[in-house]
Amino acid sequence: MLNVLPVNRTLTNNLPAANLSDHIPLVNILPFGLCQSMANPTVAAATAAALGALTPMPCVPATASPWIPGGPATVLLGNVPALDANGTLMCTWGGVIKIVAPGQVQMLIP
């Protein structure tokens, strides 16, 4: 789940809207799932301890850089482009984080 702090004071559907800077590990991105990347030191150590058998470890995101926009950055929140449902976030250990279920959807009214 993406946690968005209300620092930009922009609400959509009564929830804080995210921008590309909302990528801080353990603040915006909480641990989730199991990491299988051998680039992750905890996975490498657990795998070595298991005599080479891949041993996934709990994911603790290492997201050092902002989200990559999924489209044109035309809407700004706090002087930073807004995050849309097509944004991606790279993990230092080689994974990619994507939006699976956006908090809001566009509805076309006939």
| pLDDT tens-digit readout, 74-102 | 888 888 898 988 899 999 999 899 988 88
Does pLDDT of 5 surpass 90?
no
| CA–CA distance, 30 with 68 (Å, rounded to integer) | 18
| CA–CA distance, 47 with 31 (Å, rounded to integer) | 20
Within 8 A by CB and 6+ apart from 105, the residues are none
| CA–CA distance, 81 with 23 (Å, rounded to integer) | 13
Structural domain spans, the chain:
1-102
Residue 69: pLDDT band (50, 70, 90) is: confident
Q: What is the DSSP string of 6-32?
A: GGG--EETTEEPPBTT---BTTTB---
Query: What's this model's pTM, rounded to 2 decimal places?
Result: 0.79
